[in-house]
Structure 1
Amino acid sequence: MSPIVLRTFRVKKRRLVLLVALVFLAFYLSRSKHELAEQKAVEVMSPSLANRIIVVDPGHGGIDPGVVGRSGTLEKDIVLEVGRRLEVNLEQAGATVLMTRDTDTDLSDPGTIGASAKKREDLKRRVALANDNKADLYVSIHVNSTSDASRRGAQTFVQQGAPESKKASQFIQSELAGTLKNTDRQPSEIDLYISRSTSMPTVIVEIGFMTNEAEAKLLNDPTYQGKVAWAIYAGVVKYFAQGGVTALGPPENEQVIKTFKEQSPGRISEP
């Protein structure tokens, strides 16, 4: 190859590399601009959470670890971190947030013997927490697992025949898909004690698969946990801003909520 041809080839190659870099930069800037606009839109709608009582339920806890990852990571720890971040987002928007647990404990009595008995007690008290305080929404956070290690992605679940729960789950599912960009799943119906027994819209959010190696690493990443929490928060905001159940105004049981948040001795585990 002659020197002239070689120089021409190198110039064209550099131009091609530069062109590719410019395309990626344009894509990144466009995506960042879209994400910023989306965040601003959520901020505009956030007043819809005023006077709302929202129960945030990080699944499992105490003697129940939930799914255990290959590296020993516990579901109960991951969902607690996401739940805490979600709590902060919701409270900053003016909602009253009741956490079913904010430490690695449960709501069963110390004297209750047996894992099954403790779990039943936990479930009953979790439902009572939401129903007694007339919560507007119940969000239960979990990590999924399956024998198929290739499966990944977040998904929401609701009680069979619960249209308002389905509506809330669709908003949350849409935000999970748009923010995490790891799923095209749609809300699915189930039949669980929690979703069946609560008197308000209830959404169970499986934030990803611990059995997928790549996703398990993401679920352990604090930055990713923050993105998950933001997606759930954005879905909740849009649900109430665009057709969610009507707020009842300042809660009549304000003192009950205050007492719970200040004195609650424990939190509940997951089915």
Structure 2
Amino acid sequence: MRVNDLSGRKTPGRRGSSRSRRRGAWPGPLAAFGLALAGLFGVLGPGPAASPAQAALLAPAVSMAEWPFPARPDPAGIASPSAPGESPVAGPRTTPEEASVRTLSPLAGRIIVLDPGHGGIDGGAVGLDGRAVEKTIVLEIAEALRDYLHQAGALVWLTREEDRMLDDESGRGTRKERDLRARMVMINAPGVEAALSLHLNSFPSSRTFGAETFYAGVRPENRCLAALLQESLREATGSPRGIKRGDDLYVLRTMEPPGALVELGYLSHPEEARRLVDPAYQRRLAAALYVGLWRYFARADRACSETP
């Protein structure tokens, strides 16, 4: 993200290439991935003993030294709305064991919006002499995160699923302003319980690196969510950065549900840019965000006003 991209000010877009995406089943089902994290992070406490069939579904507990987590889950059997405000549409049947696991997940039934920044003529930040483009990378990460969340039973909307800018069709303001307003319509839809806007950063110095998370200071839940997301990103990537207030950012200051804007790295840092175009590293980032959301909803009924 360039500094002013989400402030509502006019900024020139950058063009960038994006590769086509194949839809369908992802390799390697990751049934019960969410419940396996309960033992890893201690967020659920002791639970009922798993049946042999359930135990077979559970991924083994891993240490943070073993990031990234396994490959993308199979999204088959997930029910999700086709658009904000619509009723969930039932997908293919799942096994009783998978349904039981989702029932135990703090993410089950949660409605979450993921906002991959930029798109179309607005490429966002660029690195590696144009080979790393923000709009493409953040969409890949959002898709991986969506699949992790789906497997845990969450209902997930993406503000965009292809390489395009959005339009609120009001005819008012610049193309960028209409794009931002259209995103906020989805983010602020009734029933949304959390929203993440995903971006990449750029800086004149090529020495600056690391993921960081911004939040609006209007409610304690925003800071709580941002801190938990950043904690997971730090564990997964070793980022030296922290959380920051972002009240001047348009997306954050107009966001109604609890949410955060996450800068997942710096494309101006050559080594980090090379990692960001690596699908395995993208899944690592998606898994870190998944863990942060898991932690947030696992403690949502406790005092989230306390800084974690």
Offset, 1:37: 9.3
Normalised by the length of structure 2, the TM-score is 0.63
Q: Does 1:157 align with 2:218?
A: no
Correspondence 1:238 to 2:295: yes
Q: Residue in 2 aligned with 1:173?
A: 230
> What is the number of residues matched between the two proteins?
210
Match in the other structure for 1:223: 280
Using the TM superposition, give the Cα deviation of residue 107 of structure 1 relative to its aligned residue in structure 2, in angstroms. 1.9
Q: Distance in 2 between matches of 1:51 and 1:45?
A: 9
Residue 133 of structure 1 pairs with residue 162 of structure 2? no
Q: Give the residue type in structure 1 aligned to 2:150.
A: E
Which of 139, 158, 162 does residue 99 from structure 1 map onto?
A: 158
Q: In the superposition, relative to structure 1, how do residues 93 and 245 fare at CA in structure 2: closer, same or farther (>3 Å)?
A: farther
Q: Which amino acid aligns with 1:88?
A: D
Q: Separation in 2 of the partners of 1:245 and 1:92?
A: 24
Greater helix proportion: 1
Distance 1:210 1:37, change over 3 A: closer
* Amino acid across the alignment from 1:52: R
Structure-1-length-normalised TM-score: 0.71
Q: CA-atom RMSD, angstroms?
A: 2.8
Go from structure 1 to structure 2 and tell me whether the alpha carbon gap of 1:244 and 1:125 turns closer, same or farther (over 3 Å shift): farther
What runs of 5+ residues in structure 1 fail to find an aligned partner?
1-31, 247-271
The answer for the alignment partner of 2:180 in structure 1 is 123
Aligned sequence identity (%) = 36
* Larger Cα-atom Rg: 1
Letter in 2 for 1:215: E
Secondary structure of the corresponding residue to residue 106 of structure 2: helix
The one-character-per-residue Cα deviations of 1:195-214 (angstroms, maximum 9, x if unpaired) are 11121111111000000010
Alignment equivalent of 2:139, drawn from 57, 77, 80: 80
8 Å CA contact 2:111, 2:192 repeated in 1: yes
Most deviating of 210-219 and 66-75: 66-75
2:105 matches 1:47: yes
Question: Which portions of structure 1, spanning 4 or more consecutive aligned residues, are displaced by more than 2 angstroms?
Answer: 35-40, 43-46, 109-113, 243-246
Contact conserved, 1:56 with 1:140, CA < 8 A, in 2?
yes
* Structure 2: stretches of 5+ with no match in the other structure: 1-60, 71-100, 304-308
SS in 2 for 1:71: helix
